[in-house]
């Protein structure tokens, strides 16, 4: 397929590279153009502007937040005005449910197709083809882009015919990861203040009841107070908790754990920790307990 | 080894049976004597009173709470006054850190040995030799009872020389399980109120990021609103959250997630749910959101 | 002064009437024009559209929320495009800090003056000239409209030169009232479930430590489970808590009490209570405790 | 009346002095005997031990916590074994509901009378006869000691025939005060981080909606970050929140605001603030927000 790829951050670069490996014809665009060079070396074409990346069957966007999507998609010269009728926009960004719905409406009005396909995984997973992808949209549209999704991730879950449902599920997943980090942070503050070794404790947990990789990955960062370099920045983690709470508010669902996470992130950001890995919220309980 | 076993509830019966299978000589005692019959058929002797179960090298107790331990161990005619010098008491009950320390002190004063060995696992795991055991106490004491622990569980973690540390870790583990249930409850209220299928959602979660069995076990109960029969009653789950909070208070550690769990349990108990499985707290978010 | 008044809800009608009593020349406008009749009988002129209410020295708006203000002020034919240079817009609505700042910027660009003047008080207080007013804006602008503020309220506090600060303080005040309601709700659930009389309890509280009228007013509604008719609807109270949390988020301040209030409102709204008085959140603790 | 008074801390000394001023015959006892001297100079007799303070019609105790009451009342040589039949024990201490019930039972068994009479007010209020007193117990017992209560406080509220109800109400009152402190702390963190003056803000609040003295007293301490000297120590405030939560737990009532207070106190104590005034919890929100 002839596809465009917009947004070559740490996630997007790995995803675009995997599309090239799968022999798709990929035209890449990034606001700061230097990021295109490594992909061009791997066979991509570089687009001079957004429109130039929208001339194929499909354009994939992987952007930081609602504001970036608004600018890239909705502005004049953006995706909406550049994409051909019946061509498909696949939005992999983690954005708000409301923005996803706005995109769906705008594409429908422009007689274009739209699939929301947010992903689970950090940059190394993106590079290594280990992402999990949540796809939602009209059945025929999802089917048409499935080869692209397969090229980017290890497995794709088709979750709904409404694109924004994929974004809701993605946000709920990041909420669940946040809960793992906070619960481990509290538990480690407790046993740590009693004088027990946090790494041995984590090893016991992850070899018994809590075998999921998220416990190992984030637990290790919390047990060793190692929050740099950031795989996923706290400022972005905060954004996702906010979006989960916003979606919950719209549905009139209260989520007290999410409120605790929100407060942890706010305290972390207020103390200058926005660039740390988001697992740094797991340090909050230790700080409150005046642990060294 | 010649051992006594006191407390033949659903957990204790399975554990004692496994000791018999490992060819230990086991004398069993239970407050309501009918429960001894199945074990006697498997080769155990029945003791007429607590003291009669304390004549061997070691006595194991598996009781419901601090009050039961107080009565069985500390009262005249109880374990302390019945056990021989240098014999060992292995306490597998999930009790408070403070009570475990009191037991340690009382046994030391009586020149007896004491090992705290709380377990992770539900009754079926006890029967099937799948328990995980956390052992703490003086090194020589733990070593001496290791064959018994091996006979009861699939793996034993020696966590500290201070018995009460095993109880603290056990309580922290139940707190972490509680967090899994509450976080799933909130996430499922969110996606459920948006009209998405909770079981499909859970299947996606447990085949991607949240592969640990606790997510499957409890998630399934929450996704299907099935809280009977109780593997572990809400009233007991509440007790453990209380004990975790009490231990945290003693150490001056605040645990906001634990406070949320406490409130969920209180609301559940107030509405008559004490006998439901403790995963019923995962229904709280749905109730608050008026989900049918 | 020749003034326009836009927004004749229960609050605005009382405020406009007091301006007439103070012998100001008042032109009133309301989206549903029937509401102008009583004020016309008191001496007001009725404007056919927003622009017609903007021909004097000053226009006062008293609207329900950000969206209404956006429509009335920012749209073509709205206040910004209708008001003369150097004329002043006094915004009494309880709106977001961000919207207040947008208004300030838009008026500055249009060479108009802007004063934020949100009020404390329910409709009866508005009618009886008992409002407290928080005024913020450039000193000369505030001074110029002070006679109008004096005509509408019993006392005006000039709080800052930045208009949005008045809105921030107003939102913080509604947050504090919400805390009174929730704290009373929890205390009454506690003593009520012990069998004590809630009204006698409230009488004791309000004649000793908690003599402020807010304790009497809202405490009485909570003690007697009387949430209709609504002096201030729960849906509006929820809006204000949201706006306080949004402002706090912008400033990176965590407010755990505000999060509890938010969850109470969400549960109340999910159960259909949006039209009840906002003190109905004080019923939440009793519901959780299964109090009849 | 011939009365004994046990517990001459900052509260008890003022209360005993007021009994002397009202011409009662007072025998005082304190664990550290130096504290009796000022009262002896005012006309009191000093007792050499607890029993010697229990020979009159009534003995009043004003002690720090459950443990002190346990020791003074329940031990051999304590109040129970020393008081004559039909004599009355008036317990003014802020203790747990459970302990108050234990005292009631023990006195009933010993054919003695018991009145719980906890007080609202700080040491200066005790000295100046400004306390509010909550009395509970059998009607005839309460009536018989009313002259003593009138001598110690400005007003007495008879709240129930069950002594422990007075303790429950007292604890609920301290909870409500704690909520005032936390809510002001959050509001001041919010407006303070926006650059507004906290003292001017407090002056506005306390001259409009929040006129109760508790807002002025504690608000001023929070606005100026002045938590020394302590009128009521944070360690004692924490005790009362714990006892309120314990009583609520017994009644299966969840109190999310109380949980927030508990966490604030734990963080304060962990950071060495136990001897500060309890209003120092109002500093927590500012610390989380990294306000200087």
DSSP letters spanning chain D: -EEEEE--SHHHHHHHHHHHHTT-EEEEE-SSGGGGHHHHHTTPEEPSSTGGGSSSSEEEE--SSHHHHIIIIISTTSHHHHSPTT-EEEE-S---HHHHHHHHHHHHHTT-EEEE--EE--HHHHHTT-EEEEEES-HHHHHHHHHHHHHHEEEEEEEESSHHHHHHHHHHHHHHHHHHHHHHHHHHHHHHHTT--HHHHHHHHHTTT--SHHHHHHHHHHHTT---S-SSBHHHHHHHHHHHHHHHHHTT---HHHHHHHHHHHHHHHTT-TTSBGGGGGGHHHHHTT--
Out of C254, C269, C270, the one facing A263 most closely (by C-beta) is: C254
pLDDT at residue D267 in the model: 98
Q: D237-247 b/e with 16+ CB inside 10 Å = b?
A: bbbbbbbbbeb
| Residue that the structure tokens 């060479």 belong to | C111
Contact by Cβ (8 Å): B166, A191: no
pLDDT at residue C19 in the model: 98
Neighbours of B41 (CB within 10 A): 8
Spell out the residues 6+ positions from residue B76 whose beta carbon is closer than 8 angstroms to its own: none
State the count of interchain CB pairs (< 8 A) between A and C: 42
| Residue that the structure tokens 């034993």 belong to | B156
pLDDT at residue D1 in the model: 85
D288/A272 touch (CB, cutoff 8 Å), yes or no = no
Task: Locate the chain B residue with the closest alpha carbon to D235.
Answer: B252
D248/C194 touch (CB, cutoff 8 Å), yes or no = no
pLDDT at residue C260 in the model: 98
Does the pLDDT at position C63 exceed 90?
yes
DSSP A233: B
Contact by Cβ (8 Å): B12, B5: yes
Q: Is the ipTM of this complex over 0.90?
A: yes
Nearest-angstrom CA–CA distance, A153 and A130: 6
Does the pLDDT at position C234 exceed 90?
yes
pLDDT at residue A193 in the model: 98
Q: What is the architecture, at CATH level 2, of domain B168-288?
A: Orthogonal Bundle (1.10)
Burial class (CB in 10 A: 0-12, 13-18, 19+), B67: exposed
* Chain A positions touching chain C (beta carbons under 8 Å): 242, 248-249, 252-256, 259-260, 262-263, 266-267, 269-270
Closest among C69, A47, A169 to B193, alpha carbons compared: A169
Out of B267, B272, B290, the one facing C271 most closely (by C-beta) is: B290
Q: What does the pLDDT look like over D126-152, one tens digit per residue?
A: 999 999 999 999 999 999 999 999 999
What is the CA D134 to chain-centroid distance, rounded? 11
Does the pLDDT at position B70 exceed 90?
yes
Closest among D167, D178, D189, D172 to D288, alpha carbons compared: D189
DSSP structure string for chain C = -EEEEE--SHHHHHHHHHHHHTT-EEEEE-SSGGGGHHHHHTTPEEPSSTGGGSSSSEEEE--SSHHHHIIIIISTTSHHHHSPTT-EEEE-S---HHHHHHHHHHHHHTT-EEEE--EE--HHHHHTT-EEEEEES-HHHHHHHHHHHHHHEEEEEEEESSHHHHHHHHHHHHHHHHHHHHHHHHHHHHHHHTT--HHHHHHHHHTTT--SHHHHHHHHHHHTT---S-SSBHHHHHHHHHHHHHHHHHTT---HHHHHHHHHHHHHHHTT-TTSBGGGGGGHHHHHTT--
Task: Locate the chain D residue with the closest alpha carbon to A273.
Answer: D290
Out of B256, B264, B269, the one facing D252 most closely (by C-beta) is: B269
- Helix segments in A72-136, DSSP class H: 79-82, 97-109, 123-127
Q: What does the pLDDT look like over C188-209, one tens digit per residue?
A: 999 999 999 999 999 999 999 9
Nearest-angstrom CA–CA distance, D211 and C132: 13
Mean pLDDT of D241-269: 98
pLDDT at residue B278 in the model: 98
Spell out the residues 6+ positions from residue C42 whose beta carbon is closer than 8 angstroms to its own: C17, C20
CA terminus-to-terminus distance, chain A: 56
D256/B263 touch (CB, cutoff 8 Å), yes or no = yes
Residue D122 or residue D40, greater confidence = D40
Q: Which residue out of A45, A109, A170, A193 is catalytically annotated?
A: A170
Q: In chain D, where does the domain assigned CATH 1.10.1040.10 lie?
A: 168-288
A190/B160 touch (CB, cutoff 8 Å), yes or no = no
C256/D186 touch (CB, cutoff 8 Å), yes or no = yes
Number of H helices, E strands in chain B: 13, 9
Neighbours of D140 (CB within 10 A): 9
Task: Locate the chain B residue with the closest alpha carbon to C263.
Answer: B288
Neighbours of D44 (CB within 10 A): 23
Q: Which two tokens stand for residue D203?
A: 């002056």
Q: C292 pLDDT band (50/70/90 cuts)?
A: confident
Phi-psi region of D7 (alpha: psi -120 to 50; beta: other; left: phi over 0): left
Nearest CA distance, D162 vs chain C (angstrom): 10
Does the pLDDT at position C50 exceed 90?
yes
pLDDT at residue D158 in the model: 98
What is the CA B58 to chain-centroid distance, rounded? 20
Contact by Cβ (8 Å): A277, A218: no
Chain D residues in contact with C210 by the CB 8 A cut-off are: 176, 212, 214
Contact by Cβ (8 Å): B289, A253: yes
Q: In chain A, where does the domain assigned CATH 3.40.50.720 lie?
A: 2-161
What is the CB-side half-sphere exposure of residue D79 using CA atoms within 13 A? 34
pLDDT at residue D289 in the model: 98
Closest among A241, A58, A72 to A152, alpha carbons compared: A58
Nearest-angstrom CA–CA distance, B193 and B204: 18
Q: What does the pLDDT look like over D39-87, one tens digit per residue?
A: 999 999 999 999 999 999 999 999 999 999 999 999 999 999 999 999 9
- Residue A155 forms beta bridges with which residues? A132
Does the pLDDT at position C1 exceed 90?
no
Nearest-angstrom CA–CA distance, A16 and A127: 9
Mean pLDDT of A29-52: 96
Contact by Cβ (8 Å): C6, C62: yes
Average pLDDT score over chain C: 97
Phi-psi region of B272 (alpha: psi -120 to 50; beta: other; left: phi over 0): left
Burial class (CB in 10 A: 0-12, 13-18, 19+), D85: exposed
Selected for mutation to probe chain D from A288, A289, A291, A292 (highest D CB count within 10 Å) is A288
Does the pLDDT at position A292 exceed 90?
no
Q: D172 pLDDT band (50/70/90 cuts)?
A: very high
Q: What does the pLDDT look like over D195-246, one tens digit per residue?
A: 999 999 999 999 999 999 999 999 999 999 999 999 899 999 999 999 999 9
Neighbours of B76 (CB within 10 A): 7
pLDDT at residue B80 in the model: 98
Mean pLDDT of C114-131: 96
Task: Locate the chain A residue with the closest alpha carbon to B253.
Answer: A289
- Residue C113 forms beta bridges with which residues? C88
Out of D270, D272, D288, the one facing A289 most closely (by C-beta) is: D270
Chain D residues in contact with B242 by the CB 8 A cut-off are: 249
pLDDT at residue B292 in the model: 84
Does the pLDDT at position A1 exceed 90?
no
Backbone phi, then psi, for B273, in 5-degree steps? -95, 20
| Residue that the structure tokens 């309301």 belong to | C30
Computed on alpha carbons and rounded to an integer, the radius of gyration of chain D in Å comes to 20
Out of B254, B260, B266, the one facing D252 most closely (by C-beta) is: B266
What is the CB-side half-sphere exposure of residue A155 using CA atoms within 13 A? 7
Mean pLDDT of B157-181: 98
Chain D residues in contact with B252 by the CB 8 A cut-off are: 266, 269-270
- DSSP 3-state assignment of B179? helix
pLDDT at residue D292 in the model: 84
Mean pLDDT of B54-61: 96
Nearest CA distance, B184 vs chain A (angstrom): 7
Closest among C120, C125, C163 to C141, alpha carbons compared: C163
Task: Locate the chain B residue with the closest alpha carbon to C260.
Answer: B260
Report in angstroms the alpha-carbon separations of D94 from B255, C183, D78, D117.
26, 20, 19, 9
- DSSP 3-state assignment of A47? coil
Task: Locate the chain A residue with the closest alpha carbon to D193.
Answer: A270
Q: Which residue out of B21, B35, B162, B170 is catalytically annotated?
A: B170
Q: Which two tokens stand for residue C58?
A: 């000053």
Closest among B125, B96, B113, B100 to B15, alpha carbons compared: B125
Long-range contacts formed by C138-142: CB under 8 A, 24+ apart? C138/C113, C140/C113, C141/C88, C141/C113, C141/C114, C141/C115, C142/C115
CATH of domain B2-161: 3.40.50.720
Contact by Cβ (8 Å): C109, C133: no
| Residue that the structure tokens 């032109």 belong to | C27
Out of A252, A256, A267, the one facing C270 most closely (by C-beta) is: A252
Q: What does the pLDDT look like over B212-264, one tens digit per residue?
A: 999 999 999 999 999 999 989 999 999 999 999 999 999 999 999 999 999 99
Annotation says D109 is catalytic: no
Q: What does the pLDDT look like over B16-30, one tens digit per residue?
A: 999 999 999 999 999
pLDDT at residue B225 in the model: 97
Q: B163 pLDDT band (50/70/90 cuts)?
A: very high
D248/C182 touch (CB, cutoff 8 Å), yes or no = no
């Amino acid at each position: 397929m002839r596809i465009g790829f917009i947004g070559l951050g740490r996630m997007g670069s790995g995803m675009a590279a995997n599309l090239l490996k799968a022999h798709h014809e990929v035209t890449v665009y990034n606001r700061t153009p230097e990021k295109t060079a490594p992909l061009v070396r791997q066979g991509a074409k570089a687009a001079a502007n957004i429109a130039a990346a929208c001339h194929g069957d499909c354009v994939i966007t992987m952007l930081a937040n609602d504001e970036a999507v608004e600018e890239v998609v909705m502005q004049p010269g953006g995706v909406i005005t550049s994409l051909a009728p019946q061509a498909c926009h696949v939005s992999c960004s983690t954005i708000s449910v409301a923005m996803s719905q706005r995109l769906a409406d705008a594409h429908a009005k422009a007689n274009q197709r739209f699939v929301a396909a947010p992903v689970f995984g950090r940059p190394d997973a993106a590079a290594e083809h280990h992402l999990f992808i949540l796809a939602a949209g009209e059945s025929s549209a999802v089917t048409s882009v499935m080869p692209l999704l397969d090229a980017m991730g290890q497995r794709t879950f088709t979750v709904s015919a409404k694109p924004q449902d994929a974004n809701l599920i993605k946000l709920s997943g990041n909420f669940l990861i946040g809960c793992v980090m906070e619960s481990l942070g509290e538990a480690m503050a407790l046993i740590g203040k009693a004088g027990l070794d946090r790494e041995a404790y984590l090893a016991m947990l992850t070899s018994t009841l809590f075998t999921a990789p998220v416990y190992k990955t984030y637990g290790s960062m919390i047990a060793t107070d190692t929050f740099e370099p950031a795989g996923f920045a706290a400022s972005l983690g905060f954004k996702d908790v906010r979006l989960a709470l916003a979606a919950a508010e719209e549905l009139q669902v209260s989520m007290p754990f999410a409120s605790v996470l929100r407060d942890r992130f706010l305290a972390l950001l207020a103390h200058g920790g926005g660039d740390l890995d988001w697992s740094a919220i797991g340090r909050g309980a230790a700080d409150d307990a005046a642990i060294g």
